[in-house]
Structures are given as structure tokens and as C-alpha cells.
Amino acid sequence: MSPQGKPARTITNRKRERQMITIALAAQLTVYVVMLLVGLAVVFADLSLLIAMTVLVLLAVAGCAVVLNFWPFGYRDETLNFSRLLASLAMVVAVLELERTGMLGEFNWLVHDGDIDMYGKRLILHWAAAIVVTLVLVLVALFVRQMVREPRTHLIMSLSTGLVASIVTLGGASWTFLPVAVSQSMRRSYGVWLLAALIVVMLISVASTVMWIQGAHWGNDPASMNSLDAIGQALGRGIAMAMMSGYATYVVAASTLAIDALL
């Protein structure tokens, strides 16, 4: 018993939990700071859009690689590598889709030269359709994989974790809309509210990361507190939430279309 009358194991677990939260939040906030600095630099410091997009894509790929490597989603089975492969392919498809439709090339005009016209609207709205189609294909592939394996145990759990992994990677690719979200918001009187909403989403994701880790089981062995697996799990959880916040940057960019249509 500790001097406070609490079991030593509980104190050890709480210490481990605080350490994991610190690691996860440090990783998550680092991603946010770097992404925001890159996005803001394009608009306010004339940073080359090509350089900015390259940095954003590389950060997203690196972040998703950490998440898929450490797999912080808890459930693991023989389909784990297949889920990782699908999530990786989703990221590749997302980047190729951005390039194929000209969105990466046209971002320079969207950021620096004016408001979104019909062509710009088509580019932005096309991304939503691409996300939906990609996720449907991922879900179908995961379901087929489950149907052909024996035994077909934990079907829902395996499908959900595999789908979440692809949601994370596609969210990472969505960070490329950050320069558009910032520049288009700055041109509108209501833009400050859109940017404020983006910050609120990030704060909610930080709180969600804390709750995610608090609900985890880190084991009873004190030696595991500093293990690479535990640290990797914490990093994966923090970065996964940061990657999924990329959808918020896309929503901010696309929201200007809906709001303008109503005003």
C-alpha cells in the first residue's frame, strides 16, 4: 500500500498513463504546429506552393507510416497486414488522385489569385467523391478478405479497424487542402469563424486522444512503461488523431462553397 492508502499497482498504472498521454500529445501537437506553419507560410510568407505541398504530403505519409507500423487500434489478427496494405494503397490513390485531377497544380491559383470559380468548385467537390469511393472499395476488399478466410471470427472488429486505418491515411492526404482553407477563409468576413472551428476540432481531437489513452490497458509490468511497443502505441494514437483532423481542413475549404451559396 502507498502512504495515501492506494495500491502501488494503481499508482504505477497512472504514472504509465500520464507518460503515454504526454508522448501522444507531444506527437499530435507537433504535427499540428508544423502543418499549420506550412499552410500559413504559403498565404502570408509567399512560401512556394510546390514546396509546401511536398512538405504536407511527406508529413502525411510519414505520419500514416508511423500509425500503420505501430497499429494503435488495438485489434490484431491475421488480416492485419492486409488492412495495412489497403490503407497504404488508399494513401497512394489519394495522392495520385490529387495529381490526376490537377488539384495540386491548381492550388496555386486557388490560394493566391482569387475566389473559387466553377472550375475550383469542381476540383474541391471531386475530392469528397474520391474519398467516398475509396472508402467503399476498401470496405468491399476487407469484407471479401474476411469471407475467404477460415475461420471467419471477429468479422465486425476486423472490418472496423481496417476501415479506420484507411480513414486515417485519407485524412492525412486531406491536409493538402490547408493552404486553400486558410486563403479562402481570409477573403471572407465569416472566415474567422471557419478558422476558429478548425481550431476547435483540433482541441476536440486532443481531448479525444487523452480519452483514448485513458481507456487503454498498458499492462501491469512497470518495465513495460518505457518499452518501444508502449511508446509506439502512444505515438500512433496521437498521430492518428492528427491525421484524421485533416478532414477538418478540407471541410473548411469546402464550407466556403456552401456558405457563399446561402448568402
CA distance 110 to 108: 6
The DSSP code sequence of 62-120 is HHHHHHHHH-TTS---TTHHHHHHHHHHHHHHHHHHHHHTTHHHHHHHHHHT-S--HHH
Low-confidence ranges of the chain (pLDDT < 50): 1-2, 5-9, 220-223
DSSP 3-state of 19: helix
pLDDT computed for residue 134 by the predictor: 93
CA distances for 129 relative to 30, 99, 159, 245, angstroms? 30, 15, 21, 18
pLDDT computed for residue 10 by the predictor: 60
Using alpha carbons only, what angle is made at residue 25 by residues 24 and 26, rounded to the nearest 5 degrees? 90
CA distance 68 to 59: 14
140 in Cβ contact with 68 (< 8 Å): no
Give Rg (Cα) of the chain: 20
What is the grid cell recorded at 43? 498565404
Q: What is the pTM of this model?
A: 0.84
CA distance 245 to 263: 27
